[in-house]
Amino acid sequence: MPKTKNLEDLLVDELKDLLDAEKQLTRALPKVARAASAPELKEAIEEHLEQTKGQVQRLEQVFEQLGKPARGKPCAAMKGLVTEAQELMEEDLPEELLDVGLIAGSQKIEHYEMAGYGTVRTLALTLGHKEVAQLLEETLREEEAADKKLTAIAKKYVNVRAMNVGEQEEKEEE
Ligand code: ZN
Ligand code: FE
Ligand code: FE
Ligand code: FE
């Protein structure tokens, strides 16, 4: 009979999912940064790419502390979110609108990560893994900050800039 999973195994499963999700992002974010036009947005994505590489290392540290091999398990949800972002980039949108879409896709990704890290942080605390919980909390804070930054960039610049894009084209045709 297969061994029954316990709470610790569930924590490790969730961590494997996050490790794969972060690794997918280290491959996808360079393309998203290249597709972005607004310099502030491009920089924010590049900055978060570097953070993401650190998050992979932080997860590897977590596995080490738990005495488990740092092996990912394919995260289908992140694959779907990345696919949606790729589909948007293939849409041939004016750059102002593409930036809005890239923020939308990126914020969905950040929220998925926030859900994942919040859960494993709390599970680690329940299981008494204080240092692990601390590491996961650090990443959670980074994801939250990245999400807030995207909202700020949208409000200050990217959404405003995109507001009249379709209208202007109509006027030119008249
Ligand atoms: Zn444990
Ligand atoms: Fe991340
Ligand atoms: Fe997942
Ligand atoms: Fe992130």
CATH of the domain at 126: 1.20.1260.10
Of the ligands numbered here, which is closest to the C-alpha atom of 66?
A: 1
- Tell me if 125 is assigned to some domain: yes
The length of the chain in residues reads 174
- Tell me if 170 is assigned to some domain: no
Of the ligands numbered here, which is closest to the C-alpha atom of 131?
A: 1
Dihedral angle sign, alpha carbons of residues 146, 46, 133, 10: positive
pTM exceeding the 0.85 threshold for the entire prediction: yes
Q: What integer pLDDT is reported at residue 39 of this predicted model? A: 98
DSSP-based three-state secondary structure for 69: coil
Of the ligands numbered here, which is closest to the C-alpha atom of 63?
A: 1
Of the ligands numbered here, which is closest to the C-alpha atom of 129?
A: 1
Measure 56 CA to ligand 1 centroid, in angstroms: 20
Of the ligands numbered here, which is closest to the C-alpha atom of 22?
A: 2
- Tell me if 48 is assigned to some domain: yes
Q: Which residues are CB-contacts of 16 (< 8 A; sequence separation ≥ 6)?
A: 71, 72, 73
- Tell me if 93 is assigned to some domain: yes
Structural domain span for residue 108: 7-159
- The model's confidence at residue 4, banded by pLDDT at 50, 70 and 90, is confident
- Tell me if 167 is assigned to some domain: no
Measure 52 CA to ligand 2 centroid, in angstroms: 5
Give the pLDDT confidence of 111-145 residue by residue, as tens digits. 999 999 999 999 999 999 999 999 999 999 999 99
Give the pLDDT confidence of 7-33 residue by residue, as tens digits. 999 999 999 999 999 999 999 999 999
Of 6 and 171, the one with more pLDDT: 6
Q: Average pLDDT, stretch 100-116?
A: 98
Measure 20 CA to ligand 1 centroid, in angstroms: 21
d(CA 25, CA 111): 14
- Tell me if 17 is assigned to some domain: yes
- Please give the C-alpha separations between residue 109 and each of 24, 80, 81, 84, in angstroms, as whole numbers: 11, 10, 7, 10
Total domain count, the chain: 1
- Tell me if 109 is assigned to some domain: yes
Measure 40 CA to ligand 4 centroid, in angstroms: 17
- Tell me if 58 is assigned to some domain: yes
DSSP-based three-state secondary structure for 127: coil
